[in-house]
Structure 1
Amino acid sequence: MPVGSGHDAPGARGGTRPHGGPAGSPRGGTRRARRRGGDRRADRRAARASIGKRGRTVRRLWPVLVAALLAAGCAAGGAEGPGGSEPEAAPASRGPSPVRVRVVRLEPGPFVEFLRLTGTTEPWTEVQVSSELGGTVREVGFDEGDEVRAGQVLARIGDDLAQARLDRARAELTDAESDYGKIVELVRRKAVPEQELTAATARRDRAAATVREAELLLERAVLRAPISGVAVERLVEPGEVVPPGAPITRILKIDPLKVELAVPDTELGWLRRGAPATVSVDAYPDREFPAKIHFIAPDADRDSRSFRVELELPNPNGRLKPGMTVRARLEKRRVEDAIVVPMDALLTRREGPVAYVVEECRAVRRKVRLEATEGGKALVGDGLVEGDLLVIEGQDELTPGRPVRTESCP
């Protein structure tokens, strides 16, 4: 080998490096090792990035692949069953699911239908008290609004003069009776003719009549309440001089009260005298007052063509007053053994009201004919019978034949 061709020859294996020691030195080897390590790390990062991209791509495509495999499996299964047999039939449909409902068993019961009207309270009796004779008002025995009793003294008008007339009439009667007694004795003795006895008898009778007249005048000078009730006016005061016929007060009898109603002729046939009724007023919204039919007019009003009906309304405590507007409820008819259902249990269809009943755990629709409704209940004329299981909750979700769930149909 020529001299100088050994390891020190320039450019051998890696050539000359501008920076650093000789190629064979320890420092140069370390740099090369680091460079090769960095290259390997870069390669690994690139590989991981490529795998990540492929993984994301696979995840995005995975649902599509699964759907395609399922479709292929269904097509293969539909073409041929296991072992080359004919395709299996699809399972039968289970039908609509049962509906949870609540039912009641129908039993006969009472049904009462009412006629509702508006009316006005009136005093049972109203009396205008007036002075028949006239004269000076000597006494007034009541105040406006007082309750008075029948026979109670209301006023004394000119009773002093009436008393004086009575005293004079009684004195004259005493004289006439004395003269009559004397004449009777003289006639018995035949001392005077019979004509004297006739004249004495007439004078005695006239004196007695004068006394009765004076007693009546005195009685009528003292004004008394003709009925028990409330004195709603006081029209005179002591010391006044009033003429004959002057009004003194007005007395209203308010126990019982009278309720006047106007009943259409189409409803009159349901009503009868003595039938029960109830009355309510706005002043006592939570109370109802019992009443009864007292009078039914025999003829209609010519203008309204309605009939006047009066109710007798007891008013022992005087809470109700004349002139109140009231709502009256009159009993039209009562059916004892009736099929009565809640209105909420009925459905409105094109053919009319219908109801659902349960038969063999399935819904059966019935067309129902109603005769009357009252207070949220209906009187059934046809379509439902005693013993039917009427659906009262959940009927809106039912169709004919649909299965149901109840306590007896779990």
Structure 2
Amino acid sequence: MKSRYKTWMLAIAAFIAAPVATANETKTVSDLAFSPLSCLLEPSFDVELSSEVQGIIKELRVNRGDKVKKGQVVMKLNSSLEVAALNTVKARLEFASRKVKRNADLYRKNLISDNEQDEMLTEQRLAEFQLKEARVRLSQRQTRSPITGVVIERIKDPGEFVDELPFLRIATLNPMHAEVVLPAELYGSINKNESITLYTLGSEVAFQGKVKIIDPIIDAASNTFAVTVVLNNDEGILSAGVRCRVEFNNS
């Protein structure tokens, strides 16, 4: 998603760079204090979820527009075989543990050999390892959200087959990011954590943000580089995909 936003932003780079190219002087960030620059709002995180293993969706617990928390289970696959395997291993471990306990007194009295005792203990340890494996396999039948955010696309529905392809898309809208493209002449004049003022298209309501990322590479085709600005969006006023303009504050 970020590459798509950046492609759009680079398309307007010629418009941004044109005034700079006509000047025969070195530009600094202070020259932009009252010069608005176009930008585009985007989520701070945008992830497409896929399943660790293949299977048929049993439950898809969220819909488009739902809020999710990091670690929340959003999807479960049919797991009847995995549950049965887990119960089998549990029964095997319980039997092995009882067997070791029953024969502990016999071993102390030297009524069973060291080899027999070792076999029983090995069976118990193997059952413990198999139980851990069965639990991992069962946990792979569900998918948890890696971020806190909002569901922006539900690609699959219960009853459908899933594999490594995405079935859900989640985006984090707080904080929000704004992608700004600047002329190459200003490279080195922008600093991380530098303050900016942002306005959404058609609005005079100001939002304050800070420079978070400065691209280390200048785009040769447009002679520009991109800057990512982070903005607080606790009130949910800002929306991804909205055009905006920014002004760098005097420094």
Q: TM-score under structure 1 normalisation?
A: 0.49
Q: State the 1:328 CA deviation.
A: 1.3
Q: Distance in 2 between matches of 1:210 and 1:244?
A: 25
Q: CA deviation at 1:310?
A: 0.9
Aligned twin of 1:230: 150
Give the 5 Å matches for 1:16-27.
none
Q: Equivalent residue of 2:95, what SS?
A: helix
1:261 aligns with 180
**Is the aligned partner of 1:165 residue 2:94?**
no
- Mapped pair 1:154 → 2:102: no
Residue number in structure 2 paired with 1:214: 134
Q: Distance in 1 between matches of 2:113 and 2:133?
A: 32
Determine the structure 2 residue equivalent to 1:38. Answer: none
* Letter matched to residue 135 of structure 1: G
Greater Cα radius of gyration, structure 1 or 2: 1
Give how far 1:213 is off.
1.9
Counterpart mapping for 1:279-294 below 5 A: 279-283=198-202, 285-294=203-212
Whether 1:272 aligns to 2:191 is yes
How far apart are 1:211 and its partner, in Å? Answer: 1.4
For 1:207 and 1:250, the matched residues in 2 are separated by 39
In the alignment, structure 1 residue 190 sits paired with structure 2 residue 126: no
Q: Is the 8 A contact 1:260 1:311 kept in 2?
A: yes
Looking at secondary structure, tell me which structure has more strand per residue: 1
Contact 2:174 2:234 in 1 (8 A): yes
Alpha-carbon distance, 1:235 to partner: 2.2
C-alpha offsets along residues 29-52 of structure 1, whole Å, 9 cap, x if unaligned? xxxxxxxxxxxxxxxxxxxxxxxx
Q: Report the AA paired with residue 287 of structure 1.
A: V
Measured in 2, the distance between the counterparts of 1:311 and 1:135 equals 40
1:324 to 227, 242, 247: 242
Note if contact 2:153-2:168 (Cα within 8 Å) is conserved in structure 1: yes
Higher RCO, 1 vs 2 (CA within 8 Å, ≥6 residues apart): 2
Whole-Å separation in 2 of the counterparts to 1:116 and 1:184: 81
Q: Assess, with a 3 A threshold, how the Cα gap between structure 1 residues 302 and 185 changes in structure 2: closer, same or farther.
A: farther
Query: Cα 1:297–1:127, aligned 2, differ >3 Å: closer, same or farther?
Result: same
User: Which of 176, 181, 188 does residue 96 from structure 2 map onto?
Assistant: 176
TM-score (norm 2): 0.77
Runs of 4+ in 1 over 6 A off after TM superposition: none
Given candidates 215, 228, 232, the residue that maps to 1:314 is 232
Residue 236 of structure 1, CA deviation:
2.4
Distance 1:246 1:204, change over 3 A: farther
The SS at the match of 2:167 is: strand
Q: Distance in 1 between matches of 2:127 and 2:167?
A: 33
Count of matched residue pairs? 221
* Equivalent residue number for residue 355 of structure 1: none
On the 8 A contact 1:132/1:246 being kept in 2, the answer is: no
1:37-76 matches, cutoff 5 A: none
Matched, 1:130 2:54: no
Residue pair 2:57, 2:162 contacting (<8 A) in 1 also? no
Return the letter of the residue paired with 2:98: S
Report the CA distance shift for 1:243/1:146 in structure 2 as closer, same or farther (over 3 A): closer
CA contact under 8 A between 1:134 and 1:158: conserved in structure 2? no
CA deviation map 1:306-335 (0-9, x unaligned): 33211002222333222222211123x43x
Aligned to 1:251: 170
Local SS of the residue matching 1:232: strand
Q: Matches of 2:199 and 2:52 in 1, distance apart?
A: 41
8 A contact 1:179–1:200 mirrored in 2: yes
Structure 1's unaligned 5+ residue stretches are 1-110, 335-410
Look up the SS of the partner of 1:266 in the other structure: helix
Instruction: Return the alpha-carbon distance in structure 2 between the equivalents of residues 274 and 246 of structure 1.
Output: 37
